[in-house]
Structure 1
Amino acid sequence: MRTDRRRRQWRQWRQCQRIVDQLVLPDPFDVHDFIRALARTRGRPIELVAVPSQFDVPCGVLVTTDRADYIVYAHDTTPLHQQHILLHEAAHVICGHYERASAPPATAHVLLPDLPPALVRRVLSRSVYTEPQEQEAELVASLILTRVAQLARTGPAVPERSQLRTLFGQPRGRESARDRGRANG
């Protein structure tokens, strides 16, 4: 039984790796550029909707309508977390999960109150990580980030402190007292 589970996981990982290997990633990587390119490739708009975090609502949701796809994401989190949320929801698009999803209009209405519920065809949200679609989307998002990190290694071996601070939410140009002390000697 354990062997069957490992085989399924291995097959899923190989399938996700094949998907990610076929993706064209912008260089340098920018998640917004990546999603714009994904929309162009599909010939269908993907609109990003930044919303404040809510305790009882997932941090990322894919809403599909007849006109466009909407990736709703929490804007009041770190840039790294935002990037992962966006990639996770984009992974649902890449993997075709939106074609097989159900549409709970209440979730869509909470996140997109100006969008008439009748227009919403499907809603995918991070709620149950044991579902195969959620596992696949999470794995694809992680593999994209792994590939981005590997591509970045062709540049400087270690990111500059300012890049790391920006990645984790501290704006560029704002050094801590400890960093200034190290720079001065």
Structure 2
Amino acid sequence: MVHVRARAAVHDALWEKYRRAMGSGELPRPFDEMALIARLAERRGRPIELIPVDALPNLPCGLLMVTDHADCIVYATDTSVLHQRHILLHEAAHLVCGHDGAGPGAGDAADPGAGDAADPGDAATAGSRALLPHLPDTLVRRVLGRTVYTEPQEHEAELLASLICSRAAREARTPPLAEGQQRRLGSLFGVPRARGRSRG
């Protein structure tokens, strides 16, 4: 029981991050990850560029790169529609959760000289170069610290993406009631209709 409450608390805290980042806890209806990302870009005041690519072996199927002018989400297209959705939401969740280099220690992580040859950033550098070979090395090195996340950050982004997918699926199964249906249900259960409102 304690574990269930702890998990619920984690989910609530994550959803509160979503609410703060998006201005409300509502999802686009019908759900559309592109609309959600467009709204996130509007809220952040920065464009989010979506860059579809063919997946390459041993490279991540999604990547978030933060540049001076835009946030770029690179995502694999040679996968299922549901998997593409999850990739896009996972990378967007990094932005929602503030993993884009704005937090403490971001400066150290972004330092290209930090770390050693075994640094996990090497894989991200290779990945970004393979996926986007036209990017200059200086840009790859500058965004490197913002594309290599800690394990807890990856877990948080993955969990938020899963929560969004789960809520979207639940809402798709339970369409909103029309005003007439709400009135009838309200009268059945004795719920007074709010005055001055066109919808209940």
> TM (normalized to structure 1)?
0.70
- Residue 151 (str. 1) matches residue 171 (str. 2): yes
Shift of 1:18: 2.3
Shift of 1:28: 0.8
1:68 is matched with which residue? 70
Whole-Å separation in 2 of the counterparts to 1:7 and 1:98: 29
Shift of 1:108: 2.1
- Residue 82 (str. 1) matches residue 102 (str. 2): no
- Aligned residues: CA RMSD: 2.6
1:94 is matched with which residue? 96
Q: In structure 2, the residue corresponding to 1:96 is in which secondary structure?
A: coil
1:109 is matched with which residue? 129
Q: In structure 1, the residue corresponding to 2:78 is in which secondary structure?
A: coil
Contact 2:18 2:96 survives alignment (8 Å): no
Shift of 1:10: 5.5
Q: In structure 2, the residue corresponding to 1:80 is in which secondary structure?
A: helix
In structure 2, runs of 5+ residues without a counterpart are: 111-120, 177-200
* CA offsets 1:57-95 (integer angstroms, 9 cap, x no match): 011110111111111111000000000000000000100
- Of 10, 13, 20, 1:15 maps to 13
2:51 is matched with which residue? 49
Percent identity of equivalent pairs: 49
Classify 1:109/1:150 alpha carbon distance in 2 versus 1 (closer, same or farther; 3 Å). same
Contact 1:20 1:144 survives alignment (8 Å): no
Contact 1:35 1:90 survives alignment (8 Å): yes
- Residue 141 (str. 1) matches residue 161 (str. 2): yes
Deviates more, 1:98-107 or 1:5-14: 5-14
Give the structure with higher Rg (CA).
2
- Paired residues, what number? 150
Structure having the higher strand fraction is 1
Q: How does 1:28-43 map to 2 (within 5 A)?
A: 28-43=30-45
